Every structure is written in structure tokens, then in C-alpha cells.
Amino acid sequence: MPVKNSLLYLSLALVLPLLPAHSQSPTAGRSLVFQGTGSVSIRHQPELNPYPMTATAWVKTSQTTGFAGLVNKYLSGAFCGWQMYLINGEIRAWYFADFTNHIWDGSDGLNGGFVADGRWHHLAFAVDDTGGTIYVDGVARANRAWNGTPTRTTGVQDMSLGSYPGAALNLFRGSMDEVTLWNVRLSRATLTNLYTRSLRGDEEGLVAYYRLDESEGALVHDSCPVGGYNAGVVLGTVVRSSANTPLVPPVPTNGLPAILRSPENPEIEAGFPVSFTVLDPAGTWNHQWMRGGVDIPSATNVQLVLPAAASGDAGDYSVRSWNDSRSVVSLPSPLRVVTVPEMVTQPVGEVGEIGASVSFSPRVIGGRPMEFRWFRDGVPVGRSNSLTLSPVEPGHAGDYRMVASNSHGSVTSAVARLRISARPMTDRLVLHLKFDGRFQDDSGHGNHAAYARSGPNANASPTFVSGRIGQAFQYTTTSDGNRFEYATLGYPPDLRLGAEDDFTVSFWINYQNQTGDLPFLSNKDWDKSHKPGWAITTQGGGHFRLNASGPNRGADFFTTATTPVIRDGRWHHLLTSFQRTDGNRSAWIYTYVDGALVNRTAMSLAGAVDTYGLPFSYASPRTSPQSSWAVNVGQDGTGVYFDQGGASAVGAKIDDLGIWRRALNAGEARALYTAGLAGLDISKAAVAPRLFLVPEERSVRLFWSGDPRNRLEISSDLSSGAWTAVPGIPETNTVVLDVEDLPKFFRVAR
């Protein structure tokens, strides 16, 4: 039987300052202080996927924005595993057996409410066949039944404390103490007992127990020997409370040696150094390093150093350590040496704004030295590992690829397409609903909406109220499912967005009385977010969400991450811009609130996001007034979504809705917001022109942002006030002009 403390720990040794002791603690002893720069990783073991299960932790934080992992065994987007985490200071949780069988609401998970008040709280997530429950300080705060069949998860993701692996900005800031994991669903009475005392470590059903009382070291010990010794390792920077000792390599319990590796990643690029170190504080052990179970000649020191890893160094490394009384062998640590260049992350397509900057930054690994070459439409444009274009010019539009090569081979990236938009605001606008007492489409495409209603309490006629610009449409769905009032667009050809066309949705919204995740706009059955179609929806806590799923459902699934609070009874402008891709490219989905970018998420959604022509079946128990799918305002694509009592919006107001068959850029998002503040609708919005001049040998190259119908004008004398339009300017927002007599002055006029 392997000795528990001979596990191989992968981590970097860091010397860090420590914070002062906290003023209170759930139990006597120390706690672990996370500063948003580190986490604890616990190697996957099957026993860390218990079912039934309960996970608990004491947490103190003032982190009120963004995502933050607490205790989890889940990789973002995996749909397999479990976790407790924070969103904007609210405790959330979910449990996934797989994409079909889970305890999940299709959004951010169970919501146990706000806990980021700077005080200690005891948090617990309990799961069994009846579903999942979040407890805060011994009180049940949120419950949810299973979707599908109750099933144990089989995820192989490592367990983490203080991190949400794979999610952006995922690190926790705050203190944590007394983390436990159980293979039973603890009762409320037991949780209340945990709320008042510490544990011995041998309690029935306890799988793992992290007191977090270590005074030093990068090792986090498991105090539950019954469940198997599942120690954790500090990654990055964390500090211990109630002490002034820096974190140093761990001193193992029982005096047994442990192993430290730098870097901790099991994958190393050829030519880079890697080292393995036996932590033997007493110096009483002998050591022999091995690769693939075979002794490495003369490798008997406490440290094994490979100064420049080569392909022949790949393999499973371990160490045999012995003294007069015993001998132990570590678990193997695989080392993969990457020689031929590999593209870890691809460059991502952009919708560029003239005059702004755009960067393509893929990640490539492989043996060094490595050469990088960038191409636009096959023409060389750069020779570094990233490419930045600033300021962006109209001529920068095109398809970009990077080729990385070394002595072992080469790799070519996927295409990243840069689109440069310099068009009238209404170009490819296929829907414009002003809601000024009517549902007429003012885009000129005739995609008029109609009032739709169902339920015994629904108003017979639509309600129009004072809006951001003129009037607005007021819609309502009640949580009892007895009142549905919305606007339907049917499914005209212009709103069948297909698999390739970019598109943009823009509107003003104002609401307060809302629960759950009722859509602002949708064409799908929102009962499950992975069902085909798209939706822009409300969310708990006053946030919102963008979702799209292709025909392959889970394989074609996109959803936004963090979004700001917009449920405050004031008007907000929302715009989401989709740059579509094919199977060889990826692109960004941009989300803007009040003219500012709040979310940019890469996606590779393949296939159509339309529900047109699909069988019309849905989960709601209410009967839809529709006979087929539709694009609806204030409802999902069925017209009767209320999440069986979990979703509602009473008196929500929407104004100046537009849909384009192109992806709008950041300048256009700002222009729409600015126009709305001035009481101007989409048709009157315009990007403010900015003029750029690049001197050349006997000419100047000029390019400018804004409507291409703007005039480029020239003057030789500013004091005269005489300006002349430059003739023959193409509507490309760029021109090269010969300049002989100086000075010359240029401007762009609307």
C-alpha cells in the first residue's frame, strides 16, 4: 500500500508577505487568505466525486463583482462536475452528471443570495436524488430538483479551492477555512452542528477535510485519513492568517519526503529547463530519481535538473526515497516535451473600428528558437508572436493567419477574419421597431410585429408608455402563468439568420419587477439553454444573458459570462454583435451596455441558430397562441415561458429595437447610445468622424471613421474659412492624395 505522504505535489515555491490576523474565525486556528492571485489544487481522485454529496466551507469576502471559484471540481463549459462559486457576491452552485442530467437552471446555477459582506459565513451545497440545496449559516437558501436522471458525476477535473478553472477572472479574493467534502447529504441539523464546532477528521461519511491551519508551506493537508489522503498544493500566491511566516516549500507530516516541481505544468517546451526537488527537511533520507521506473544514473541528489528539456527527456518521473526503517516511491509525474510547434489557442476574428486598435494573440508552444510569420490574405505583414494593428485602417480588413516554425516543424493557425465596418448606420438594418404607439417596422423591410397575448389575465390591447425615445412597448409575463403580453414578429426571411451571416441586436430596456430569466427577445424554447435558437434574457440579481445554440446543441453552445446589473428602473441600451464563423475560424461575440463593451467572448458556433421549420414542441404547461416558432419581444419563441413559476416581468419597457444582418462595431454601439440619450432613434444615429493622416514621400494617405457618405474637404488657408470637397473619393473611407503645395489642411464633414 503506498504511503499517503509520498504523493507527488506539483507547485512553485513562492516567498510571500502575510496579512495581519483576521479579527474573528469560525474555529480556533488559521485560515487561508486568497488575494485574487492564487488558488489550491487537489489532484483528481474518484472519491472526490461523491454521491450523494455535501461540500462545506467557511468564507469571508467583500468581493462583489465578477466570478470567483470557492470549492469546486468543475471546468468551465465541461457540463460534468460540481461546484460552489460566487457571482457578484452571490453564492451559486450546480451539479452536472452530464449535459442532460444535472441540477442546473440553464444559467448561473442555484442562488443562495448575497454573502460578500465582509463577515464569516458557513456555506454548504448538498446533493442527493431529490436535488440540490444551498445552505448559508445553517439555513436553506435555494433548492432545485434534478433535470433528467439523478446520476453521479464522473468528471476528472482536479478539485480547486479559490478558483473556477477555465473561466475568465475566476480567482477568489477573501478568506477560507474548514473546507469539507462528504459522501452523504448532511441534514440541516448536522450542518447547524458544523456551524458551531470543528471536526475530528474521522466522522462517518467524511471524504476530505482541509483545516487550512498550516503555518507555512505550499502544501494544504487533508485531515481525513479515512477518505484517503487528498492533499492540496498552493498555485500562485496565497497567504496564511495569524502568522508572519512566508510560504516556503512544505514540511511534510510524519517526516516523509514530498516532491516539488518547477514549473508545475506537466508539459514543457523543448529547450526550457525543468527541475524536480525532494523536500527532505531533516536530510535523513536517501534518494534515487527514475524515469519510466528505471534509475537515472547519478541522479541521487535532492534535486533533479534538466537544463534544456529535449524529446528524449519525456516520460514518467518518480523518486525512490529510503532510510534505515522504510522505503517509499512517489507517484509518477508525467513530463511531455513539446518539440514541433503546436497552436494552443487560435487567433480570433474581430470587427474592427477605424482608428482603434486590434490585436491577434494566439498561444504557440514548441521547441525554441521559434520563428513567427503573419499573413493577411497571403501577404506577409508581421514577424512576431502577436500582431497589433493601430490605428486600424480600412485596408487592414482581410483574413489573417500565423505560421510558427522551428527546427522540428511548423504549424499554421486558423483564419482570423478582420472586418472593418464603415457604413451608414442603417446599412443592412432589417428590423426597426420604434414602438411609437404601433408595431410598424421602419427599416423598409416590412417586418412588422403584432401584439400577442394569452392567459385569462392578459390585456386585450397592447400598452404603450413613455419611452427613451418617444414611446415604448410595455410587456408583462406573470409567474402564475396566467398573463402573457408580448410582441411577435413571426418568422420573416430577414430574421432567418442562417449559419453564416453576422447579425446585431440593439434595444433600450427599462424594468424593475422581474424574477428568474424571462427573455427580452428570443426565438427558442428557453426551458433549456442548449436547445437550438438564440435568446437575450434577464437573469437573477438584475443581470442579463446572451445565449445561442446551433443544431448540435451542446457542441454548438454559446453563452455570455459576467454582465453588469441593469435592473434599476432606468433606461439602458443593450447591443450584442455576432460575428459568425465557419468550421475553420473563431470570432468574438461582443456585448455592449450603454455604449461600453462589457463582454467579449470567443465562440465557434457552427450551423444555424434559427428555429424556423423545426417541430413546434415546448416544455411550458400553458398553451401557446402560436402554431410555430417565432421571434418574440418580451417572451421566448413559444410565447408562454414562465419557468413553471420561476420567471416573470411585470411592466417591463422596451424601445427602439433594431436587428442588422451585419456585426456592428464599438463606434456604432457608442453612436446608438449617444443618439438615444439625445432622443434620436436608430435612423438618426451616426458615428462621429475621426480623420487620420499618414505622410508618405510625395503624398499623404488619409482614412477616417464614420459614414462613407461624409465628405473629405481640403483647404490651403484656415483663416479664409474656405473648404473644398475633394472630388472622386470612393466610399471606402480611405484615399491617397498627391501633395505639392503646402500647407494643406483636411477635414471630414457630414
Residues 462 and 515 in one domain: yes
Q: Tell me, rounded to whole angstroms, the distance of Cα 605 from its chain centroid.
A: 15
Residue 666 to residues 351, 352, 501, 595: CA-CA distances in angstroms?
Answer: 8, 8, 19, 8
Task: Give mean pLDDT, residues 261-272.
Answer: 73
The pLDDT, as a whole number, for residue 585 is 56
One-letter amino acid at 659 equals I
- What's the chain's average pLDDT? 85
Please state whether beta strands 81-87 and 519-522 pair in parallel, antiparallel, or not at all (unpaired): unpaired
* DSSP strands (E only) in 43-192: 53-60, 67-74, 81-87, 90-96, 102-103, 110-114, 120-128, 131-136, 139-144, 159-161, 173-182
Residue 251 in domain:
no
Among 236, 269, 406, residue whose Cα is nearest residue 335: 269
In the predicted model, is pLDDT for residue 621 greater than 60? yes
Tell me the CA end-to-end span of the chain in Å, nearest whole number: 81
**Could you say which of 643, 668, 684 is where a domain stops?**
684
DSSP state at residue 147 = B
Considering the domain boundaries, does residue 89 fall inside one?
yes
Question: How many whole angstroms separate alpha carbon 225 and alpha carbon 208?
Answer: 8
User: Could you identify the residue written with the cell 491551519?
Assistant: 213
For range 562-568, the mean pLDDT: 87
Shared domain check, 517 and 660: yes
CA dihedral angle for residue 67, residue 72, residue 76, residue 81, rounded to 10 degrees = -150
Q: Per residue in 92-123, is it b (16+ CB within 10 Å) or e — as a string? A: bbbbbbbbebbbbbbbbbbbbbebbeeebbbb
SS3 682: helix
Mean pLDDT in residue range 539-548: 87
Asked if the model's pLDDT at residue 640 lies above 60, the reply is yes
Check residue 561 and give its pLDDT.
54
| 560 and 625 part of one domain | yes
In this structure, of 16-30, 207-221, 507-521, 688-702, the range with the lowest mean pLDDT score is: 16-30
The continuous run of DSSP H or E covering 200 comes out as none
Q: Average the pLDDT over each of 48-62, 451-465, 539-553 and give the range with the smallest value.
A: 539-553
Q: What CATH number should be reported for the domain holding residue 289?
A: 2.60.40.10
Question: Strands 327-329 and 294-295: what pairing?
Answer: unpaired
Question: Of the candidates 650, 684, 718, which is a domain's last residue?
Answer: 684
Query: Would 252 be classed as within a structural domain?
Result: no
Give the residue from 187, 219, 243 where a domain finishes.
Answer: 243
For residue 710, name the pLDDT band (cuts at 50, 70, 90).
confident
Same domain (yes/no): 113, 201: yes
The residue that leads in pLDDT, 29 or 70, is: 70
Residues 6+ apart with CB under 8 A from 13: 218, 247, 248, 249, 260, 262
Residue 481 clears pLDDT 50, i.e. is over it: yes
**SS3 letters for 305-349?**
EECCCCHHHCEEEEEEEECCCCEEECCCEEEEEECCCEEEECCCE
User: Using H for helix, E for strand and C for coil, what is the string for 556-598?
Assistant: HEEECCCCCCCCCCCCEEEEEEECCCCCCECEEEEEEECCEEE
* pLDDT confidence of residue 397: 93
Residues 62 and 173 in one domain: yes
Q: What is the pLDDT of residue 457?
A: 97
Residue 66 — very low, low, confident or very high, per pLDDT cuts 50/70/90?
A: confident
Query: How far is the C-alpha of 173 from the C-alpha of 118, rounded, in Å?
Result: 11
Does 533 share its domain with 492?
A: yes
Judged on CB neighbours under 10 Å (0-12, 13-18, 19+), 20 is exposed
Q: Kindly report the CA angle at 354 between 353 and 358, in degrees rounded to 5?
A: 60
* Mean pLDDT for the stretch of residues 559-565: 75
165 with 220, same domain: the answer is yes
Q: What is the pLDDT of residues 416-426, one digit of tens each?
A: 989 887 789 99
Q: Check residue 699 and give its pLDDT.
A: 85
Q: Is residue 588 part of a domain?
A: yes
> How far apart, in whole angstroms, are the C-alpha atoms of residue 265 and residue 10?
8
Provide the residue range defining the domain that includes 626.
434-684
Same domain, yes or no: 35 and 159: yes
Burial of 601 (0-12, 13-18, 19+ CB in 10 A): middle
Together in a domain, 133 and 37: yes
Q: Measured between alpha carbons, how far is 39 from 654 in angstroms, rounded to an integer?
A: 43
Query: In the prediction, which pLDDT does 507 show?
Result: 98
Q: What CATH number is associated with residue 29?
A: 2.60.120.200
Residues 634/637/642/648 CA torsion (nearest 10 deg): -10
Instruction: Quote the pLDDT of residue 265.
Output: 60
Render pLDDT for 45-59 as a digit per residue (tens, 0 to 9).
888 999 999 999 999
Check if the beta carbon of residue 267 is closer than 8 Å to that of residue 254.
Answer: no
Q: Three-state SS string across 693-732, please?
A: EEECCCEEEEEECCCCCCEEEEECCHHHCCCEECCCCCCC
The answer on pLDDT for 196 being more than 90 is no
Instruction: Say if 249 falls within a structural domain.
Output: no
* pLDDT mean over 591-617: 87
Q: Are residues 321 and 357 in the same domain?
A: no
Q: What is the pLDDT of residues 330-349, one digit of tens each?
A: 767 788 899 999 988 888 88
Q: What percent of the chain has pLDDT over 70?
A: 87
Measure the CA–CA gap between 485 and 480, rounded to whole angstroms.
13
- Bridge partners of 42? 159, 232
Give the mean pLDDT of 358-377.
Answer: 93
Q: Does any domain span residue 425?
A: no
Q: Is 628 in the same domain as 743?
A: no
- Range of weakest confidence among 52-56, 103-107, 461-465, 672-676: 103-107
Q: Residues 694, 697, 699, 700: what is their CA dihedral angle, to the nearest 10 degrees?
A: 0
Top-ranked range on mean pLDDT: pick from 254-258, 312-316, 715-719: 312-316
**Average of per-residue pLDDT across 179-196:** 81
Strand partners, 558: 548
The number of distinct structural domains making up the chain is: 5
R_g of the chain, CA atoms, integer Å: 30
Give the pLDDT score at 165. 75
The neighbouring-strand residues paired with 465 are: 472
pLDDT digits (tens, 9 = 90+) for 228-241: 668 888 887 788 77
Three-state SS string over 1-17 comes to CCCHHHCECCCCCCCCC
CA 333, CA 310: separation in Å to the nearest integer? 17
85 pLDDT band, cuts 50/70/90, is: very high
* CB-based burial label for 307 (10 Å; 0-12, 13-18, 19+): exposed
Task: Say if 608 falls within a structural domain.
Answer: yes
Evaluate whether residue 8 is within a structural domain: no
Please state the rounded mean pLDDT for residues 472-489.
98
Residues in a beta bridge with 334: 316
Candidates 368, 405, 364, 398; CA nearest to 381 is 398
The answer for residues whose C-beta is within 8 angstroms of residue 105's C-beta and 6 or more apart is 144, 517, 646
Give mean pLDDT, residues 177-198: 80
| Inter-residue contact 33 to 19 (CB < 8 Å) | yes
Residues 673 and 534 in one domain: yes
Q: Identify which of 99, 108, 92, 76 has the alpha carbon closest to the alpha carbon of residue 149.
A: 99
Confidence of residue 106 (pLDDT cuts 50, 70, 90): confident
- Strand 745-749 vs strand 711-715: parallel, antiparallel, or unpaired? antiparallel
- pLDDT on residue 166: 63
Q: What is the model's pLDDT at position 16?
A: 19
Q: What is the pLDDT of residue 370?
A: 95
- Say which residue, 375 or 7, is predicted with more confidence: 375
